[in-house]
Amino acid sequence: MTIIGMVKTISMGSVRGFPAADPNRPEDTALLLNAVKTKSRSTRGASITFALLLFMVCAVLGAVVLTAGTASAGRVSGMAEADGRYYSVSSAAELLTQELTGRSVTITRVRTVATSTDTVCVDRKFVVNENGVDLEQWISDPPDVQTPVTGDPTYAITVREGDGTDLALPQASLPFLSAQAVQLMFGSSNLSTPAEQEAAMSCSLSAGFSHAEIPFTLTHATSASGVTAADLAIDGSVEMRGDGTLIFLLKDVDGGFWLRLTLTPSVEESTKSILVPTDSVTGPVTSAAGDTVTTTFTHTDTVTTTKTSTITWSVGELQKVVR
Amino acid sequence: MIMKTGRKLLRRLRGRAGESIAEVLVALLISALAMMLLAGMINSSWKVLDSSRAALADYNAQESVLTAQGSSDRTGTVTASLGGDAVKLNADTNVQIPVKYYVNDAVGGKPVVAYKAG
């Protein structure tokens, strides 16, 4: 029994073999003094046991304190690692946003078709009236109006970003943004045959062709101090929905941090048709008075249909993905 | 053997015999060691906390610079690839997009790096 224990025991007024003491009563005070005397003479010791107990308590307490301190220090390096992942992926998302949003892609499809109608006149005769002015008369009256003939349509398909120059198809040679617009509009068609080009006239960006996830990566090249290019590489994918929504899934090389960048499209489409009539003449238009000639008058209606579709992407959502 | 020792110890603990000066001294020694151990551990822990607090302050200071993304002389390029083929992201940019890097290496180990086009 340690001294502290003894004092505690006495103050509580309860010593083994003795009733609870009341300090106001003289007989109880005597009892307490007796208890102290008994304890002080006791030969029952447990110093080593208590020392070992104290050692154990101190060791446990120390371990707890040390563990807490070390964990706190480890938290800082863990935080740096997490921040590294976050900044690597969020910088990639920011770069994509900067390069892809707010830029418009315009796809123009022009279809031109001409319909010609020949009118054949024979027995053209020039006469001189009383005033000496040449007048022409058509002997074959009415003239022979033939069946209209429609020629093969011609097509022109162009892609343009913003106010830039027209970009050449096929799709594989286009920049990412234009290639996505062409994919959305025409799907896998390579637009090489008249049938494919005719079908392209009825395509729309509003109800386009989606594509599944395609691997999309960003790699760095640098010799800047403190920058390890391999640590910044982004390994992800991109997919496109039928309405033109682009979804980038971006993750760092370790796959510890994921972001989903959604670019939503804004589509404007218009159709314009222009009819241009032209007339031409085959055969002599003048002749001596009294001559009989054959002349063909051709009337051509050229219809040009222009379909213009413009798509512009902007940031819809940037979400952290938990995997 | 262990049982025998245990019984002996129990008997010793239950016994009414007093303890020798040597035993008391050993107990005092053990107690002192325990106290020293605890003090040492608290001291080490305090030092670790102190250094981590300083590292955190340095880290936060560099993080602010990194977040602000002002000027930087650390440059490089980023290349996007779609399906394994390098691709221009838009008609006006190059395949290799120039970028500036902002580095926080206060903690040591792998540094925190952010970048932006420019």
Q: What is the pLDDT of residues A104-144, one digit of tens each?
A: 999 999 999 999 999 887 765 655 566 665 556 555 556 78
- Distance (Å, rounded) from C-alpha A307 to C-alpha A312? 17
Residue A253 at interface with chain B, using a CB cutoff of 8 Å: no
Give which of A3, A55, A249 to mutate to test B binding, by max B Cβ within 10 Å. Answer: A55
Length of chain A: 323
CB contact under 8 A, A221 and B101: no
B21: left (phi over 0), alpha (psi -120 to 50) or beta: alpha
For residue A175, whether the previous peptide bond is cis, meaning omega lies within 30 degrees of 0, is no
**pTM (2 decimals)?**
0.72
Cα distance from B67 to chain A (closest Cα, Å)? 9
Residue A245 to residues A135, A138, A266, A322, Cα–Cα distance (Å): 69, 66, 9, 21
Contact status of A177 with chain B (Cβ, < 8 Å)? yes
What interface predicted TM-score (ipTM) does this complex get?
Answer: 0.72
Would the CB atoms of A216 and B80 count as touching at under 8 Å?
yes
Residue ranges per structural domain of chain B: 23-117
> Per-residue confidence at A50, pLDDT binned at 50, 70, 90?
confident
Q: Is the pLDDT of residue A307 over 90?
A: yes
Measuring CA to CA, which residue among A126, A307, A103 is closest to residue A203?
A307
Are B41 and A44 inside 8 Å of each other by CB? no
Residue pairs between chains A and B whose CB atoms are closer than 8 Å: 220
Could you read off the pLDDT tens digit of each residue along chain B, which spans 118 residues? Answer: 667 766 765 665 565 555 677 778 888 898 899 889 889 989 998 998 888 888 888 888 888 888 888 888 899 999 999 988 999 998 888 899 999 999 888 877 788 899 998 8
Residue numbers in B near A176 (CB within 8 A) = 80, 82, 87-90
- Can you tell me which residue has the tokens 């080490």? B44
| C-alpha A194: how far from chain center | 33
In chain B, residues with a C-beta closer than 8 Å to the C-beta of A83 are 63, 104, 112
Which among B55, B76, B93 has CB closest to A220?
A: B76
Mutate which: A67, A88, A100, A176, vs B, most B CBs within 10 A? A176
